[in-house]
């Protein structure tokens, strides 16, 4: 069974790390019988009416568990993790939902709304229906992004992986076969719909961040020479805003 653990609004302008890294580090607290499938970063609406630190993103850890009774332990560990590591002045929020919960269909719709319009705590509380949704400081507005992170991740068609296996130690240059053996499907965005061969080279440019498409990690690539492909996207720094 999968459990979706959404985190949001845990940092400030002076923080050493943001919500994404905090969510990735949650893996270290998982009890025996649980494993991290991946962590997906979700981009929400950037709007002057919404307070955010750098990019207004939230993150969802997807945890696989053998024993449903571990759910409460995961929630307890997530709360402790948030309260211990959230920065002063932040508005941290947490949302934890198990696979198959009827509330997920409402969170999917809510998450999509959060990418296009300003949503409120009242909006998400109306659809929470007993699932775990909690604020842990400040205005508690983090429950909005945490719930959105869960909904968008469950939808299977939004976000990018910031953790998936040994993602961050993958070599800058690899082959299509090695990438797919790792569990990441390689998809060409070439206008002629060329299909990458298994022995073709992929240049990740040192920043491998597959997308969540079709409920699985997908690496979109563009041609960069004969039998050479280049992954899309690049690392960027924090913006100086809200």
Residues 126 and 207 in one domain: no
Residue 42 falls inside a structural domain: yes
d(CA 78, CA 6): 9
Residues 41 and 147 in one domain: yes
Residue 49 falls inside a structural domain: yes
Residues 102 and 6 in one domain: yes
Strand ranges in 91-203 using DSSP code E only, listed in sequence order: 93-98, 132-135, 160-163, 173-175, 185-188, 201-203
Residue 237 falls inside a structural domain: no
Residues 26 and 129 in one domain: yes
User: How high is the pLDDT of residue 36?
Assistant: 98
For the chain, the domain total comes to: 2
Residues 69 and 127 in one domain: yes
CB neighbourhood size of 77 (10 A): 18
- What pLDDT tens digit does each residue of the chain (242 aa) get? 999 999 997 665 566 778 999 999 999 999 999 999 999 999 999 877 766 655 689 999 999 999 999 999 999 999 999 999 988 888 899 999 999 999 999 999 999 999 999 999 999 999 998 899 999 988 999 999 999 999 999 999 999 999 999 999 999 999 999 999 999 999 999 988 889 999 999 999 999 999 999 999 999 999 999 999 999 887 765 543 33
CATH of the domain at 117: 3.30.70.2200
At CA 208, angle to CA 216 and CA 46, rounded to 5?
80
Residue 227 falls inside a structural domain: yes
Residue 242 falls inside a structural domain: no
d(CA 109, CA 171): 37
Task: Name 217's bridge partners.
Answer: 212
User: How high is the pLDDT of residue 241?
Assistant: 36
Residues 141 and 101 in one domain: yes
State the pTM of this model: 0.92
User: How high is the pLDDT of residue 5?
Assistant: 98
At CA 157, angle to CA 56 and CA 36, rounded to 5?
80
In contact, 154 and 21? CB cutoff 8 Å: no
Domain that holds residue 190: 171-231
d(CA 60, CA 177): 28
């Amino acid at each position: 069974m999968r459990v979706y653990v959404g985190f949001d609004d845990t940092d400030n302008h002076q923080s050493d790390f943001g919500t994404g890294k905090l969510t990735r580090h949650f893996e270290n607290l998982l009890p025996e019988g649980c494993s991290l499938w991946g962590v997906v970063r979700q981009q929400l609406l950037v709007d002057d009416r919404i307070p955010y630190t750098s990019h207004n993103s939230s993150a969802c850890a997807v945890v696989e568990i053998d024993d449903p009774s571990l759910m409460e332990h995961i929630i307890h560990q997530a709360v402790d993790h948030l309260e211990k590591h959230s920065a002063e002045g932040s508005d941290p929020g947490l949302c934890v939902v198990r696979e198959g919960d009827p509330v997920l269909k409402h969170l999917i719709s809510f998450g999509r709304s959060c990418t296009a319009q300003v949503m409120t705590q009242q909006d998400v509380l109306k659809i929470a229906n007993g699932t775990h949704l909690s604020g842990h400081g400040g205005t508690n507005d983090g429950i909005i992004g945490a719930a959105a992170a869960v909904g968008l991740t469950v939808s299977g068609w939004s976000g990018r992986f910031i953790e998936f296996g040994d993602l961050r130690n993958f070599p800058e240059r690899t082959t299509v076969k090695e990438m797919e053996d790792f569990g990441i499907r390689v998809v060409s965005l070439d206008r002629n719909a060329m299909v990458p061969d298994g022995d073709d080279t992929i240049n990740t440019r040192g920043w491998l961040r597959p997308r969540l498409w079709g409920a699985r990690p997908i690496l979109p690539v563009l041609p960069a020479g004969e039998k050479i492909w280049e992954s899309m996207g690049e690392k960027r720094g924090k913006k100086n805003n809200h």
